[in-house]
Structure 1
Amino acid sequence: MQIQNPVLPGFNSDPSIIRVDETYYIATSTFEWFPGVRIHASKDLVHWNLVKNVLDTTMMLDMKGNPSSGGVWAPDLSYADGKFWLIFTDVKITDGNFKDMKNYLTTAETIEGPWSDPIMVNGVGFDAALFHDDDGRKYLAQQTWDHREYHHPFNGITLTEFDTVTMKLKSETARTIFAGTDVKLVEGPHLYKVNGEYFLFTAEGGTIFTHQEVVSRSKSLDAMSFVVEPDGPFITNFDTPNSYLQKQGHGALVSTPGGEWYYASLTARPWHHENESSTDPRGWSTLGRETAIQKVEWDESGWPRVIGGHGGQTFVEAPKDAILTDAPADHSQHDEFNDATLDINWNTLREPFTEKMGSTGNGKLTLIGQGSLVNTFDLSLVARRWQAFYFDVETKVKFNPYSYQAMAGLTNYYNHSHWSCIFITKNDEGQNVIEVGENKGGLRNGLYTSYLRDNAPVIPDNTEYVYFKSENRQESYTYFYSFDGDNWISTGVTLDAAVLSDDYVVREYGGFFTGAYVGLAAVDYSGYASTAEFDYFDYKELGDHKAADGTLSWQKSESRFY
Structure 2
Amino acid sequence: MTRLQNPILRGFNPDPSIVRVGDDIYIATSTFEWYPGVQIHHSRDLVNWRLASRPLSRASQLDMRGDPDSCGVWAPDLSYADGKFWLIYSDVKRYGQTTVNGASGASLRDFHNFVVTCDRIDGEWSDPSYLNSSGFDPALFHDDDGRSWLLNMLWDHRPNRGRFAGIVIQEFDRAALRLVGEPKLIFTGTERGFTEGPHLYKRDGWYHLMVAEGGTGWDHAVVMARSRSIFGPYDVHPDGPVLTAQGRRDGPITRAGHGDLVDLADGTTWLTYLCGRPLPGRERCVLGRETAIQAVRWDEDGWLRTIKGDAEPEVAPLAPNLPRAPWPRRVWDGRFDRSDLPEEFQWLRTPDPAELFSLTARPGRLRLFGRETVGSYFRQALVARRQEHFDYTVTTRMEFAPTNFQQAAGLICYYNSTKFHYLNVTVDAGVRQLQVMSAHPEIGCETAVVVAALPDGAIELRATVVQDALHFAWRVDSAEDWQTVPITFDASILCDEVTAPGLPNFTGTFVGMACQDLSGTAMAADFEWFRYVGKDAAPV
Shorter-normalised TM range: over 0.9
Name 1:560's counterpart in structure 2.
Answer: none
Maintained 8 Å contact 2:279/2:390: no
Name 1:495's counterpart in structure 2.
Answer: 489
State the 1:209 CA deviation.
Answer: 0.4
3-state SS of 1:8 partner: coil
1:127 aligns with 2:137: yes
State the 1:95 CA deviation.
Answer: 2.5
1:448 aligns with 2:448: no
Provide the TM-score with structure 2 as the length reference: 0.95
Maintained 8 Å contact 1:237/1:243: no
Name 1:550's counterpart in structure 2.
Answer: none
1:137 aligns with 2:131: no
| Matched letter for residue 244 of structure 2 | T
Maintained 8 Å contact 2:40/2:52: yes
Name 2:236's counterpart in structure 1.
Answer: 228
State the 1:231 CA deviation.
Answer: 1.1
State the 1:287 CA deviation.
Answer: 0.2
Instruction: Select 2:533's aligned residue among 532, 537, 540.
Output: 540
Measured in 1, the distance between the counterparts of 2:286 and 2:502 equals: 17
| Matched letter for residue 407 of structure 1 | A
State the 1:340 CA deviation.
Answer: 1.7
Maintained 8 Å contact 2:251/2:277: no
Deviations 1:538-558 (Å, cap 9, x if unpaired)? 0111223xxxxxxxxx2x32x
Maintained 8 Å contact 1:333/1:539: no
Gaps of 5+ in 2: 98-106
Name 2:348's counterpart in structure 1.
Answer: 349
Name 1:279's counterpart in structure 2.
Answer: none
Name 1:257's counterpart in structure 2.
Answer: 265
| Matched letter for residue 133 of structure 2 | G
Deviations 1:135-183 (Å, cap 9, x if unpaired)? 00000011010101132111100000112232211142x1111110011
Matches within 5 A, 1:246-325: 246-273=254-281, 283-308=283-308, 309-325=310-326
Deviations 1:287-340 (Å, cap 9, x if unpaired)? 000000021011221111112321211001111134422265xx9964311222
Matches within 5 A, 1:88-103: 88-96=89-97, 97-103=107-113
Name 2:454's counterpart in structure 1.
Answer: 459
Measured in 1, the distance between the counterparts of 2:248 and 2:495 equals: 21
Name 1:339's counterpart in structure 2.
Answer: 338
Count of aligned positions: 526
3-state SS of 1:249 partner: strand
Maintained 8 Å contact 1:77/1:85: yes
Name 2:408's counterpart in structure 1.
Answer: 407
Maintained 8 Å contact 1:76/1:87: yes
1:154 aligns with 2:164: yes
Matches within 5 A, 1:418-497: 418-428=419-429, 430-442=430-442, 447-452=444-449, 456-460=451-455, 463-486=456-479, 487-497=481-491
Name 1:212's counterpart in structure 2.
Answer: 221
Instruction: Select 2:179's aligned residue among 169, 191, 202.
Output: 169
Matches within 5 A, 1:481-560: 481-486=474-479, 487-505=481-499, 507-544=500-537, 554=538, 556-557=539-540
1:73 aligns with 2:74: yes
Measured in 2, the distance between the counterparts of 1:509 and 1:438 equals: 21
Identity %: 39
Name 2:17's counterpart in structure 1.
Answer: 16
3-state SS of 1:426 partner: strand
Provide the TM-score with structure 1 as the length reference: 0.91
Maintained 8 Å contact 1:237/1:246: yes
1:36 aligns with 2:37: yes
| Matched letter for residue 439 of structure 1 | A
Maintained 8 Å contact 1:191/1:200: yes
Matches within 5 A, 1:180-195: 180-195=189-204
Gaps of 5+ in 1: 277-282, 545-553, 558-562
Name 2:359's counterpart in structure 1.
Answer: 360
Maintained 8 Å contact 2:113/2:133: yes
Measured in 2, the distance between the counterparts of 1:127 and 1:111 equals: 21
State the 1:440 CA deviation.
Answer: 1.3
State the 1:352 CA deviation.
Answer: 3.5
Measured in 2, the distance between the counterparts of 1:139 and 1:355 equals: 39
Measured in 1, the distance between the counterparts of 2:247 and 2:427 equals: 52
Name 2:123's counterpart in structure 1.
Answer: 113
Q: Which of 483-492 and 233-242 deviates more? A: 233-242
Deviations 1:70-115 (Å, cap 9, x if unpaired)? 0000000001111100000000111210121110000000101221
Name the CA shift for 1:467/1:353 in 2 (closer, same or farther; >3 Å): farther
Name 1:382's counterpart in structure 2.
Answer: 383
Deviations 1:172-195 (Å, cap 9, x if unpaired)? 2x1111110011110000001112
| Matched letter for residue 477 of structure 2 | D
State the 1:353 CA deviation.
Answer: 5.4
Name the CA shift for 1:44/1:376 in 2 (closer, same or farther; >3 Å): same
Measured in 2, the distance between the counterparts of 1:252 and 1:327 equals: 28
Maintained 8 Å contact 1:202/1:250: yes
